[in-house]
Structure 1
Amino acid sequence: MSEIVSAQTESAVAPHPTGQRSLSPQAREDVAAGIPLSTSRAYSSDYRQFTEWCADEDHTPLPATPETVTEYVSYLIHTPRPRTGRPYSPASIERVIASIRTAHHAAGIQPPETKGARKVLAGYKAQLSVSDDDSDRKHAEARRVSPAVPKTLRKLVATLDRDTLKGKRDAALLLLGHAIAGRASEMVSLNIGSVTRDPEGRGIAVRVYRKKIKKWTTPKVMYGTNPATCPVRATLAFIDALAAEGRTDGPLFLRMDRHGRIAPSLTRRGRTIGDPSGRMTTDAASDVIQLAGDAAKVEGLWRSHSLRRGFVTAARAAGKDLVDIGRHGGWADGSRALLAYIEEDDGWSDSNPLIGIGL
């Protein structure tokens, strides 16, 4: 995210009211470290395109005026993207606005007011929502991943060769990720020492840092009734396999090649790239779920958040309390994001409010 404020735009930064021109390079790096990598990449791409548009239209990107942001959003809703042939979706435009504000924050500058831009966006959403074209209405909705509920997880795990180290890793990632409702960034941050066995043999405890709420949590994972999909058995089998390879500390989820070799060296132009410890990236973790979905031939959009959504869907269907679900999965009490994960049923179940009222 540090590149979001380039040297070129930094020279245009207005002095801070207190006399401090901007954040120091170290402070900007520290700010960037607090932004998830996947978000950072998206923001950097969005902000880069914004600065290019500003250059073409003779606007100043940093600090940007409210009028500049409004003009840019208007441009986005009327300009087809080369890859899709459609303008940006409302969700993508929300991210663009966030990237512009983040760039200003990273430079120590007050972000521009965005009321005008959001009015343009609201009109765009309304226009899409009343269209007779199904594709327009779908374009207005945020694209959501499919929930990996237990029935689906069984199909995904069945595609893995669990006699191999890679198969053991992928099974542990899928099953433990579902059991603790882990985000990809949280899963790949786990170390072998993050998992401890319950002395009474009931399961495992997983110490995980929940980035969204900025807290450490230790969800307890109990043994499952089905050995093939038990997250405890899968995780311990993988840890034992790592120990047999001489790895008893360091990252839990390691990068592997298709032959199952641990953390092969990655180089580009003679330089080592990637995490030197061999830790998986968030994209690689999401790819595990997507590839398993493809192999199982199950319809849907399968990414890392499929595990998190699947956990909520299954727990809610089992009648678990929403507060308990949220605390186990690292959501703040009353989280809107958690409510958004709850899958709506088809309207014909016992949850239909018309049932039992005597009509």
Structure 2
Amino acid sequence: MSTAVELRPDVAPEAAQDGHRASLVERWAARHGIDTALRLAEAEDLADAVAHEITPDNTLDTYAKSWRVWTRFCAVAELPEDEGSRGSLVAFAAWMLRGGQASGKGYAPSSAGTHLAAVVVGLRQRGVPVSGDDQAEARKALTGLEVKLLQAGERRGRGKAAAADVDGLYAVVRACPDTLAGDRDKALILTGFHYASRSQDPAGLLGGDVELRPRGLVVSVLTGKTKHSVRDAKIPYQQDPEICPVRAWTAYRVRLAAEADPRWSEPTAPAFVGIDRHGNVTGGMVPDSVTRAIKRISKRAGVVIAWTGHSLRIGLASTARRKGVDGIAIADQGGWARHSRSMLGYMQVEDGWEDNASAGLT
């Protein structure tokens, strides 16, 4: 009689059919008997399904995209997809930089690094052993080839996203039209700046995730980037009403309730909605539409370097640092680990000028 937890036999059936799973079942059967081996296989299927369910959608998209790059490489190099040897991974890294894109151009080193890491994950998920040493060798090759590109005067990639700043916030607010979409744009930018949003953050918010309190807003941000599944970012009222995120959010929600179908004001409806040129709500915003909106809004405002989906996040860290806010407080507000390298990099945009060894020498 089985005493195992309830399993779902319909979950990931293909996993039980691959060679890796078959070899596991054979070993389990030799140790414990066939009935126990099959229950263990069901548990593996469930584990695969849980891992898939808790992985953020954008990460799954990256894994899928990177695997397509790997299969393209394997076809060109006439190498098997189900091998993760040192030579294959190093050759993959070199191929990506030297012309791996479908257009024939080389990838930016950062993109190549992302694809390499995702492919290693994909290989291991498929039961292909990839040693840490072999992965490190491929990473070392990628870094070395990047240095060669830099020495040759070739710089790839878009570089760091432009940081949003307070002057930009004023420009954005003043350029927003007096419409529902304009009020949505103000709320999207001002709240996103004050809790250091990524593009997926406002796309994942529901109306009930933003709560108005006496001292401001509490935004419950769903995140898969840290060990916490939700962080409650507090956004106080700002001194200048013109760029106050609390007032912008309130105005947007009042207008949404007045001009759109009541269902879009429900706590379970998306916090930020798409709006067509006729003022009709088209549904909840998704990460790509948030990124496009931020770029469009900043260009409309005449911001010199158009913002991207990461500009609000960088802007909170750099602006707060410039105003002397403690690094721990910045980390907590933006959901970074307190010694996050990415956050420190954003803050270095402002650091290094006041306490500078070359300052005041002449």
* Native 8 Å contact 1:147 1:306 kept in 2: yes
Aligned: 1:206 with 2:225: no
Match of 1:328 in 2: 333
- Per-residue deviation, 1:15: 5.0
Aligned to 1:116: 137
The offset of 1:151, in angstroms, is: 0.9
User: Could you say what secondary structure the match of 1:152 adopts?
Assistant: helix
Contact 1:91 1:142 survives alignment (8 Å): no
Please say if 1:145 is aligned against 2:161.
yes
Matched to 2:120, the amino acid is R
| Larger deviation, residues 247-256 vs 108-117 | 108-117
Q: Comparing 187-196 with 108-117, which one deviates more in the overlay? A: 108-117
Partner of 1:342: 347
**Is the 8 Å Cα contact of residues 22 and 108 (structure 1) preserved in structure 2?**
no
* Residues 345 and 195 of structure 1: CA distance in aligned 2, closer, same or farther (over 3 Å): closer
Change (3 A) 1:13 1:153: farther
Going from structure 1 to structure 2, the CA distance change for 1:184 and 1:26 (only over 3 Å counts) comes to farther
8 Å CA contact 2:84, 2:129 repeated in 1: no
Q: Is the aligned partner of 1:243 residue 2:250?
A: no
Residue correspondences, number: 329
Taking only the aligned residue pairs, the percentage that are identical comes to: 28
Matches within 5 A, 1:1-359: 11=18, 27-79=47-99, 81=101, 83=103, 86-107=105-126, 109-112=128-131, 113-131=134-152, 133=153, 136=154, 138-139=155-156, 143-161=159-177, 163-198=178-213, 201-215=214-228, 216-244=230-258, 245=260, 246=262, 247-250=265-268, 251-263=270-282, 278-345=283-350, 349-355=353-359
Q: Quick one: structure 1 residues 206 and 47, their matched pair in 2 at CA, closer, same or farther if it must change by over 3 Å? A: same
**Structure 1 stretch displaced more, 318-327 or 333-342:** 333-342
Greater CA deviation, 88-97 or 238-247?
Answer: 238-247
| Larger Cα-atom Rg | 2
Structure 1 residues 267-306: Cα deviation after superposition (integer angstroms, max 9, x where no partner): xxxxxxxxxxx32110001111100122123232421210
- Relative to structure 1, the CA distance from residue 232 to residue 72 in structure 2 (aligned partners, 3 Å threshold; closer, same or farther) is same
* Aligned-pair CA distance for 1:154: 1.6
Q: Quick one: which amino acid aligns to residue 95 of structure 1?
A: T
| 1:67/1:116 contact within 8 Å kept | no
- Give, in whole Å, the separation in 2 of the partners of 1:120 and 1:109: 21
In structure 1, what is the Cα distance between the partners aligned to 2:356 and 2:23?
A: 56
Measured in 2, the distance between the counterparts of 1:299 and 1:188 equals 26
- CA 333–205 in structure 1, closer or farther in 2 if over 3 Å, else same: same
Contact (CA 8 Å) 2:185, 2:297: kept in 1 or not?
A: no
Q: Distance in 1 between matches of 2:280 and 2:110?
A: 39
Do the aligned residues in 2 keep the contact of 1:23 with 1:107 (CA within 8 Å)? no
Residue type at the aligned position of 2:211: T
How far off is 1:172 after superposition? 0.8
> Which runs of no fewer than 5 residues in structure 2 stay unpaired?
1-11, 29-39
Question: Structure 1 CA distance, aligned partners of 2:249 and 2:130?
Answer: 45
Post-superposition Cα deviations, 1:6-39, rounded to whole Å, max 9, x if no partner, equal x79x856575656578996665454344344334
Task: Using CA pairs under 8 Å that are at least 6 residues apart, name the structure with larger relative contact order, 1 or 2.
Answer: 1
Larger relative helix fraction? 2
Q: What SS class does the counterpart of residue 114 from structure 1 fall into?
A: helix
